[in-house]
Each structure stands twice: as C-alpha cells, then as structure tokens.
Amino acid sequence: MLDRFNRNINYLRISVTDRCNLRCRYCMPEEGVTLLRHEDILTFDEIAAFTREAVMMGITKVRITGGEPLLRKDFSLLYERIKRKGILVTVFTNATLVDGPIADLLEDLPPQLVEVSLYGASEAVYESVTGIPGSYRRCLAGVDALLQRGVAVGLKTVI
C-alpha cells in the first residue's frame, strides 16, 4: 500500500544565501525582512558535504538559488564543485552581478540553464520593482554576456 508513495527524487534546490542586491517590492517589503544571521547560512564545506550525500542518494539535478546566489564570494567554487560531480545544474539569478569571470565560468562549465528574473520590459518598470537605479541595464548586460558565450538563458518574469 505505501509503495505508491515511493518516489524517485533526483532534483535538489539549494538556496545558498537569503541576501539579495535588489530590493524588490514583492520580496523585500518596506517594513523589512528578517535575514538569517551570517553564521546560520550554510558554509562551503556544509554545502559540499550535503551535495556529496545528495549525489549518493541519486540526485542528478541541482538548482542553485538564493536570494541572489552570485552574492556569495565562493559562488564560483561552489558551482564548479557541484558541476564537476556530473550534475545538471541550473542557476537562478537576477543577472545583475554577472561579470566576465562568472560568464567565463559558465561558458567553460555550462549549466543546463541560467534562469534570469526579468522584472519589467522597460527600465522604468523594472526599476520601480527592484528599487535599484541601474539594475535594468546591469541585468541586460549580464544576460548579453551569457548569450555571447553561448550559455543557455531562460527569462522569468513577475506578473
């Protein structure tokens, strides 16, 4: 009877931080958000150990997300460690922090997909949501950097 509830789980979502460089109205309300204490966020070693265990349990796909995962100083190392395990990786980002070294890493070790949040089709709308001047242009520059390197990008939008 319980066999019908046994499922093969092969997907893991890892939120590597709860911090973000944007202040979106729907996510970071004016009254503020309670963020985890820095010491409560998983360390590189904890994520590496957790991922190693997950792979041993049959995980084949990982989504790295946050907050904004590119805020982690060790993002590149984390990404490379997970990717080199042969896992299909998706990165969920706002793309405003995609620079040359990040785009190069993703070109060299291609993810299955980079999912990018697009908060509006114009600078005015986008930045009315994010609350950060210049974020629209940084997002588009990040997307362009990825596309120029042949990295698979999917755009997600908030309605």
For the stretch 133-150, pLDDT in tens is 999 999 999 999 999 999
Report the 10 Å Cβ neighbour count for 135: 22
- 37-66: per-residue pLDDT in tens? 666 678 889 999 988 898 888 999 999 998
DSSP-assigned letter for residue 72 = S
Diameter of the chain by CA atoms? Answer: 57
- Does this model's pTM top 0.85? My answer is yes
CB within 8 A of 25, min separation 6: which ones?
129, 131
